[in-house]
Chains A and B, each alone.
Chain A
């Protein structure tokens, strides 16, 4: 591991100021350090070689608070285990709780934070191996995954430069819940809808989000839960536990008078970013909540899929995953008041 300078931010302003100061002078990147479960791992692999690491663990972003409009404000440093087990999250946003609990292990969930999970890096083996070609890690070096090991990689949103999957479960649930991400930078604070937060790889797979250098995620907000809607997160993987998704679906479905009045669909394990599917939502909206509708929605969700040699199975897998998730979400037991 390359050595680095560690700075400890005592206030959010400190963190942003330190990051801005370092960004102007340091030859290598500045990184905020929260739970460490991604960053420390990638530093050991030399994938990340920051000049400065700003420890933000003492910043006051560790609270989950109800907002005046009935929504939720989630601090960027709330640990995944605390968020998953928070009574308001379990009652009002069960898909988020389920997604968090399906990810990683109990130990890692005690460390990993909300902000860090938003910025979790891909598990593509070539991204993690500095001896191989990876356009995301080293722009212009090529992509060893195209002809290599890619059964876990993306079929939606890919480019000729990169087929890496966003690995997060939490991000998929937050996408279905249309979360808003709040950030603070040297130029002030701003809010970013999660659907605008992640970038497609295109010709610049090294850029994964719209965050500017030195911008700090401070919290995530959720709107009040949709009345009479059911939600769930379903994850399919090679092992029953402690494994990344091959396919997953977070769905939020409201039913009124025999037809679907509200539909939000996000897919995981198949996209280069947490994958919102407006195509599936368009099929569901106004239709009868039955298996035929769900199958048509699932087919619509993969209309633009592009596969490689060993990941074509995901086209079927994600459709079955989505149909099953929709069946669970519309079951009476899943609907919130």
Chain B
């Protein structure tokens, strides 16, 4: 899958997924680990390992996120007051989300969108930023099982919510049937919209939707593909839908 590509400077050495912490297409974490923003220049070979992503994270680091398995989360649970409104410090908010079956706690800038939190704080860069205004669908993820545009929410609105991204759907070795169908039908060219298309398509299977191709097109109209792979995208969705 294209989501496996890293966004490196040309010629820079690639980190392995393990080097980058929990990232694209990795299985849900089974052990506790702390993900911190690090100075990319201090890593191993120094400038040779400088990536666009790690460099930008180093420059713009905005706090640390921790990851721990869901079973261990209760030890950290700090339930919200049942009555009085929770007033947060201006500028910073604490959030706890379950992302791809992993409980995540973080303190983030209040302006952080769910999309930016996934990409910049958790480094789940499979979810793409297209228009950043809810017009293209590249940022589509599932929140509590329903597809949404992650760019149009503040992550602070999702405290306690469960999020699934493309990384939580399948892996290159064990693809979700929809991912496999997109590969089989060439449902992409450049691949930038693909994660959003697949997240939308898998959600569609659980929604009220007619049986015709026109129904699929209508239900998928919130996902724009500038390469124009639409006919193959419809074919991929039809195959999975008809098999279920």
Contacts and interface: CB of A to CB of B under 8 A. Distances in A.
A242 B223 CA distance: 10
Contacts of B14: none
Contacts, number: 106
B85 A14 contact: yes
Contacts of B133: 41, 44-45
A3 B111 contact: yes
B222 A36 contact: no
Interface in B157-174: 157, 159
A67 B211 CA distance: 34
A101 B220 CA distance: 13
A10 B91 contact: no
Interface in A227-247: 240-242
A125 to B, nearest CB: 13
Interface string A89-107: 0000000000000001111
Interface in B116-147: 132-134, 137, 140, 146-147
Interface in A32-52: 33, 36-37, 40-41, 43-45
B222 A6 contact: no
A5 B88 CA distance: 7
A120 interface: no
Contacts of A3: 90-91, 109-111
A37 B88 contact: no
B152 interface: yes
B147 A106 contact: yes
Q: Which of B88, B159, B222 has the most CB atoms of chain A within a 10 A radius of its CB?
A: B222
Band of interface residues on A: 35 or more
B190 interface: no
Contacts of B152: 36-37, 40-41, 108, 111
Interface stretch (B1-9, B36-44, B200-208): B200-208
A9 interface: yes
B149 A55 contact: no
Given A6-B156, A107-B140, A44 B88 contact: no
A108 B157 CA distance: 15
A12 to B, nearest CB: 12
A108 B221 contact: no
B90 A41 contact: no
B88 to A, nearest CB: 6
B217 A4 contact: no
Nearest to B209: A106
B154 A40 contact: yes
Given A10-B81, A85-B208, A111-B148, A33 B157 contact: yes
A240 B214 CA distance: 11
A79 to B, nearest CB: 8
A18 interface: yes
B204 A6 contact: no
Contacts of A6: 88, 93, 110, 154, 156
B90 A5 contact: yes
A7 interface: yes
A57 interface: yes
Q: Which of B132, B148, B208, B217 has the most CB atoms of chain A within a 10 A radius of its CB?
A: B148
Given A3-B110, A40-B154, A241-B218, A105 B85 contact: no
A241 B133 CA distance: 17
Nearest to A5: B90
Nearest to A242: B221
A110 B153 CA distance: 12
Contacts of A242: 221-222
A19 to B, nearest CB: 11
Interface string B186-204: 0000000000000010011
Contacts of B146: 81, 110
Interface in B70-84: 80-84
A8 B134 contact: no
A11 interface: yes
Contacts of B88: 5-8
A1 interface: yes
A85 B203 CA distance: 15
B84 A241 contact: no
Nearest to A55: B157
Interface of A: 1, 3-11, 14, 18, 33, 36-37, 40-41, 43-45, 53, 55, 57, 81, 85, 104-108, 110-111, 240-242
Given A5-B90, A7-B86, A110-B148, 5 more contacts: A8-B85, A10-B81, A44-B133, A45-B133, A104-B222
11 contacts: A4-B111, A7-B85, A36-B153, A36-B157, A37-B149, A57-B157, A81-B146, A81-B207, A105-B223, A106-B204, A110-B148
